[in-house]
Structure 1
């Protein structure tokens, strides 16, 4: 089920398994419009601000610091949470969001209703030593038991049964999204990063585009993507179309889109490392300015200094040391637009990450895949 099954020092990304199916109860909702989501390069970009800091450009620090938004996840969730790991590993919940207002309205389509949605969710597990990472994508269409949660405004939201995973964010924002992920995985989310997709498009353009190879033609009128088979230097608009598309590849499900997102994320990380931002102060500043305007973080890394310190500890993770899988799921036989958590297989994933170990192949063999594997690769 992974977009890239090349084993690295992290967890082998191999397809997943059949197993126990837990059927969630509740009303099935028709899919909404196909909205694309951003993948974050903020951590990699922020590390480069050290170069500017070394020039004594203090105004840069204050400007970038003023760009950052943060949410106090710890205060909202309290102490009833999984324990922190004591081995140096950490888990980061990365969400891509669209607010349906301002520039995001134009990119996502639809009315300017001011609402916030998140359809991309990734658990990034950074292994002890911070030289390798595994990424577990959570399909937005997974039917789950959403726990009661309190948002960062102090409003409590009731638990719900048989609702889509992305309802956690639209109901109670970042805090409820984190609470839901922790309830599913029993893993502590040490940090939270959210990126809006208007900023994602601009980041890609400021990087000079991202090179990917498509192994077949991709045409999706809903995401406005039209790519012939071959190597492309994607613009921000094309990259946004790629991570949004679901009808142009595989079986048209969200699982296929996840595989494209995973492949693109590896290409994006490679591009950040290759683009030479550390030797070009102007490019570095523009990229850092956009990145800090684009991301929302948890309050623990909600300042440039904290974000820099944290990101510096991640910059040793290369694309070849990133392994990507999708949370084990099965198609819902009652509604093929929805998927159900394959609890038996998922438990193998969560147990491996909790113990900072490789995910066993049995955890990712035979589950729903979306059939879009190898459509896109980094060049």
Structure 2
């Protein structure tokens, strides 16, 4: 007697399909869990990289007023509204030798740290234009009394070099000194060291810069012929530190090179679609945050991403770089002082 086993075969096939679907479902669920865990770890790692200083808490209310915010027109709504006011950010490049990598890049061990680079970055209310004002490190200023971490304060100093503020009082004194000489409120503070800058350039795949003169600096160990060059992180850092191999060997020549690098970095970032490549985005973010110190208003990955998102439409062509007007100091030809009234008018234009 021949039996009909069609239902049995169908049952076995249905069972196999069910098993395959169940296995696929478990695999996808496992991959999702691992992906979420990896994303969570990456966020925690990047967030924990960032160091911060409570500038507002240390300086209190005795500061220049904040920039006025731009009111939102009535009846308008947007899922991603434009920023409501201009921002001024003090960006410092620290020459700290803390850590083996900074010692290697900086040329050996050295106690303390100075603000090797100081730029006031002014972002307009719509984040469509920016002005970057470099303050020469050799500028003689009146350094105000600054609070210290131990609860005391530093002494006011006349005719002090600008970059000494960071040396004696860290980020807090650097911000207070900048606000004192400019009358402009610093809404945020960002500091990056040697290793962080070099790492950022490498993570972006290098930067392209053009120099109009040969460079041969025995201190920064950089040799470049005039022309266009693709620089890696170490070379870009050397360019940012070069001063004796160009012009009259003063800090003003170095500032010109640093401003060229700022434009080159913006152009490279604009040309690199980081959002389409999570691996590259993570590499860049890790390089930046590892060596970053901010004020407490920017000390989370979310806050930094929000600032970065607001700058997506800002191109290098819309960034103006200038240097605070200075003249040789009467007391020392190797130092400079603010040129008036030009310097005052520059800061008033930002206010």
Partner of 2:118: 121
Q: Is the 8 A contact 1:73 1:152 kept in 2?
A: no
Q: Does 1:224 align with 2:206?
A: no
Partner of 2:241: 244
Q: 2:44 aligns with which of 53, 62, 68?
A: 62
TM-score by length of 1: 0.76
Partner of 2:197: 200
Q: Does 1:346 align with 2:329?
A: no
CA distance in 2, matches of 1:220, 1:292: 30
Shift of 1:335: 2.1
Cα deviations by residue, 1:166-223 (Å, 9 ceiling, x for unpaired):
0000000000000000000111000000000111111111111101112221111111
Shift of 1:152: 4.4
Shift of 1:58: 2.0
Deviates more, 1:234-243 or 1:334-343: 334-343
Q: 1:111 aligns with which of 99, 109, 112?
A: 109
State the SS of the aligned residue for 2:109.
Answer: coil
Partner of 1:79: 61
Q: Is the 8 A contact 2:199 2:288 kept in 1?
A: no
Q: 1:174 to 1:153 in 2, by over 3 A?
A: farther
Q: Is the 8 A contact 1:100 1:116 kept in 2?
A: yes
Cα-Cα RMSD: 1.4
Q: Does 1:157 align with 2:154?
A: yes
Shift of 1:275: 2.4
Q: 1:313 aligns with which of 295, 310, 322?
A: 310
Shift of 1:101: 2.4
State the number of aligned residues.
Answer: 299
Q: Is the 8 A contact 1:135 1:323 kept in 2?
A: yes
State the SS of the aligned residue for 2:297.
Answer: helix
Q: Is the 8 A contact 1:83 1:188 kept in 2?
A: yes
Normalized per residue, the structure richer in helix is: 2
Shift of 1:159: 0.6
Cα deviations by residue, 1:221-279 (Å, 9 ceiling, x for unpaired):
11111111221110111101111111111111001100110011001111011123222
Q: Give the gaps of 5 or more residues in structure 2.
A: 1-34, 70-84
Q: Is the 8 A contact 1:117 1:170 kept in 2?
A: yes
Q: Is the 8 A contact 2:209 2:231 kept in 1?
A: yes
Q: 1:171 aligns with which of 168, 173, 196?
A: 168
Shift of 1:334: 3.6
CA distance in 2, matches of 1:285, 1:153: 37
Partner of 1:284: 281
Structure number with greater Rg is 2
Q: Is the 8 A contact 1:204 1:239 kept in 2?
A: yes
CA distance in 1, matches of 2:288, 2:137: 24
Q: Is the 8 A contact 1:98 1:108 kept in 2?
A: yes
Q: Is the 8 A contact 2:206 2:231 kept in 1?
A: yes
CA distance in 1, matches of 2:156, 2:331: 23
CA distance in 1, matches of 2:145, 2:110: 28
CA distance in 2, matches of 1:155, 1:318: 44
Cα deviations by residue, 1:96-154 (Å, 9 ceiling, x for unpaired):
002222221222124343x1221210000111211100011000000010001113453
Partner of 2:230: 233
CA distance in 2, matches of 1:322, 1:99: 28
Q: Is the 8 A contact 1:71 1:152 kept in 2?
A: no
CA distance in 1, matches of 2:152, 2:90: 22
Q: Which runs of 4+ in 1 moved over 4 A?
A: none
Q: Does 1:257 align with 2:275?
A: no
Q: Give the gaps of 5 or more residues in structure 1.
A: 1-54, 355-379
Q: Is the 8 A contact 2:92 2:118 kept in 1?
A: yes
